[in-house]
Structure 1
Amino acid sequence: MNGTRFGVEVSKSEKTSVKEDWFSILKGLELEEIEEVLSQAFCDRCQANLHARLQSIANRKRTNKLSISSPDSTLSNSTHEKSAESYTTSIQESISKSTESYKTPQNTHSRIQNRYADKFSPSSVNNKHSNSSTQSKSNRSLDNGTHGFSSMEDDLQSDEQKEMARFSNVGRKTNFVHFERVYGKNVNVVQGLELHTRVFNAEEQKKIVESVYEFQRLGQKGRLRERTYTEPTKWMRGKGRITIQFGCCYNYAVDKNGNPPGIIREEEVDPLPRVFKQMIKRMVRWQILPPTCIPNSCIVNIYEEGDCIPPHIDHHDFLRPFCTTSFLTECNILFGSSLKIAGPGEFVGPVSIPLPVGSVLILKGNGADVAKHCVPAVPAKRISITFRKMDESKIPYGYVPDPELHGVRPLSLKTSSPSPSPSPSHQKQMETKETSSLSTPPPRVPISSPSFGVGEDDFPTLGASLQKGHKKNGYKA
């Protein structure tokens, strides 16, 4: 800054050379790449200098515009002036937002958490093979439901419209019906179930799956908290699916310490990674989950061919509704007040619902509390992520609420969109898309998906492992 380097005076030729190097670098950068560089956190002095220089450039261009009298040149310079002002404004806003985020005390928890979790966002899990521009687009894609951006200005103008288009394309079925005799009464045991399809597109599914594989690798290396990752021995068909828990430690059965099934309040697992928080925000914004029941925990299930989940009703340590998302392979989920075991990993029930990849199944009402549900042995590798909100009286003692999930609101249908609201007949068509008759269980048709490879293991630990040889992380979920 003062023309010296390590106490040695820098010659004028060296200064010129350095300046030319900077110009050549800047000329080779795209607008979004320059914005990324300038959007990082700056100290007060640097931020003030940058702001002053940008304002000076904008003022100079504005003055030049006023001094030009030729109609042709005025039109040309006006166009450049508008572009320069737009660019300057966007950079100033980026710097301002970065500084606000850097200074705000209430974001301290979020920054500590993102130090680990950001590594696994859908846009950055494969960051060794993607440039920063692509990462930024993918990140916004999952946050607001849009993708395929062309330019920054176009993004700012049409993100809302693109999200509305994606939102209106979601298939929704809510009219599940199957009556059974329960305690002497005819009851619709699947009342309250909802199936939402096309919630996550192919690109988003790929990023989510890659993130899950990274968590699996970290768990295998002992770099997650002890109860976060579980990989039991496969001793028979249907036994041994891998589970990864975030937000709370859930006990499926009485453990070796005598803890009953349910949330273990004394146990800590890793916090929700950013990729899953983005999924939660998507589901709330798209009116799949209500803002009154925003999930703060999740369980990832990684199935190999033949793995299953036996008949059960989810523990009431978790509120209703809750949901499960499906990836890699379509499979069926069975419902009924009485489900029978037909063999290892095989079950029989009166209601069979196919779960397409990228879909979300909501469980509430009788569908969550009267009917049991299970997943028979899957035909191919599958990943499901179940999101649930903990009962306030069951929240772990060390749990800290995530401010990023506070105040998420549904997308307003009154917001301007590229097309009018669907007619009642079109809405009915949307609700029945990608669903099948409940009377006859449909065949399980696997949807092939490529194997998502990952790079070298250079990710920091998400949390603390209690295994020998790993230091315990002081951060509490």
Structure 2
Amino acid sequence: REYGKGGKPKSKYDFMTIDEKQVEVDKIRTGIKQRCLFNDSACKEIEAKIEEVVRKAANGEYKKNTVDTAPLRNKYFFGEGYTYGSHMEARGPGMERLYPKEGEESVDPIPEWIHEMVVQPLLRAQLIPPDFINSAVINDYQPGGCIVSHIDPYHIFDRPIVTVSFFSSSALSFGCKFEFRPIRVSNPVLSVKLPRGGVTLISGFAADEITHCIRPQDTPHRRAVVILRR
């Protein structure tokens, strides 16, 4: 194992020259589009709706596969549910699968407030085409919450991947290597700010050719993200 300062693991990017890293950064940036779309008032209204989702989940009002709980992070699936991580019977990239649309494994439909308060502003801003979104996931992070380096599986999701941040700001990091017990994260090749109320779309190299993650140190406060995909 290779470690840097403070016991951080090293990724392959730590062994690149400055020029090589810049090439990677430039390729990532071509696949990132950002817009500050939701003001404080709009954020507060949407955040109140996210709190409703949390309460309904706590009261058992959703289907089993709609809600996925983990330390420091809860996920709420709407429209389409899918296997990932520990839920996968067969591990590895390409083995993820969508849940059936009907039956015990299905998830709840996308709430109307997501269509009206989140999707419609994106359509008006011409950030996504009509009828593109059929999957909405809310990730609710507690301070220190993270999501490990991954690529959203191509065989399940079209591009772009659309995220909207609420409650607080964070950062999306590319090219990190995680190690655990205790958790340690290598330096990213690029870290992109995710402001509260901001929309981030990733496609191309940024979505397909390099991993992205949320590091624990980039979640100092509670944060929720609405992930919209097809």
Do these two structures clear the TM 0.5 threshold for a shared fold by scoring above it? yes
- In the alignment, the residues of structure 1 paired with residue 121 and residue 184 of structure 2 have an alpha-carbon distance, to the nearest angstrom, of 33
Matched with 1:68 is none
Structure 2 Cα separation of the partners of residues 256 and 368 of structure 1: 22
User: Structure 2 residue aligned with 1:286, among 119, 122, 125?
Assistant: 125
Residue matched to 2:5: none
Would you say the 8 A contact 1:280–1:294 is kept in 2?
no
Match of 1:230 in 2: 68
Q: Whose RCO is larger (CA < 8 A, sep 6+)?
A: 2
Counterpart of 1:386? 227
Counterparts of residues 218-367 of structure 1 (less than 5 Å): 218-232=56-70, 234=71, 240-253=72-85, 255=87, 260-265=95-100, 267-278=105-116, 279-291=118-130, 294-316=132-154, 317-336=156-175, 339-341=176-178, 344=183, 346-367=185-206
**CA shift in 2, pair 1:187/1:211, >3 Å:** closer
Read off the aligned partner of 1:205 and give its amino acid letter.
Answer: C
Would you say the 8 A contact 2:83–2:97 is kept in 1? yes
- What are the within-5 Å matches in structure 2 for residues 46-445 of structure 1? 178-180=22-24, 188-197=27-36, 199-232=37-70, 234=71, 240-253=72-85, 255=87, 260-265=95-100, 267-278=105-116, 279-291=118-130, 294-316=132-154, 317-336=156-175, 339-341=176-178, 344=183, 346-377=185-216, 378-389=219-230
How far apart in 2 are the matches of 1:352 and 1:257? 32
Q: Deviations over 1:111-161 (max 9, x none)?
A: xxxxxxxxxxxxxxxxxxxxxxxxxxxxxxxxxxxxxxxxxxxxxxxxxxx
Identity score, percent: 28
| Whole-Å separation in 2 of the counterparts to 1:210 and 1:301 | 15
Whether the aligned pair in 2 keeps the contact of 1:196 and 1:359 (CA below 8 Å) is yes
TM-score by length of 1: 0.39
Counterpart secondary structure, 1:386: strand
Deviation of the 1:223 alpha carbon: 0.8
The corresponding residue for 1:429 is none
Structure 2: state its 5+ residue gaps: 1-20
Higher helix share: 1
| Mapped partners of 1:229, 1:247: distance in 2 | 13
Q: Distance in 2 between matches of 1:252 and 1:387?
A: 17
Distance (whole Å) between structure 1 residues aligned to residue 35 and residue 64 of structure 2: 34
Which amino acid in 2 is paired with 1:375? I
Aligned CA distance change for structure 1 residues 256 and 351 (closer, same or farther; 3 Å): closer
Q: What's the Cα RMSD here? A: 2.3
SS in 2 for 1:263: coil
The answer as to whether partners of 2:164 and 2:200 remain within 8 angstroms in 1 is yes
Q: Is the 8 A contact 1:311 1:372 kept in 2?
A: yes
Change over 3 Å in CA distance of 1:191–1:262 after alignment to 2: farther
Cα distance between partner residues in 2 of 1:200 and 1:284: 13
Give 1:128's aligned residue: none
Separation in structure 1 between the aligned mates of residue 183 and residue 220 of structure 2, nearest angstrom? 14
Question: 1:200 corresponds to which letter in structure 2?
Answer: F
Which one has the largest radius of gyration?
Answer: 1
Q: How many residues align?
A: 198
Q: Measure, in 1, the Cα distance between the counterparts of 2:42 and 2:23.
A: 37
* Deviation (angstroms), 1:363: 0.7
Contact 1:178 / 1:189 at 8 angstroms: preserved in 2? no
Give unmatched runs, 5+ long, in structure 1.
1-176, 181-185, 235-239, 390-477
Q: CA 1:248–1:179 in structure 2 vs 1: closer, same or farther (change >3 Å)?
A: same
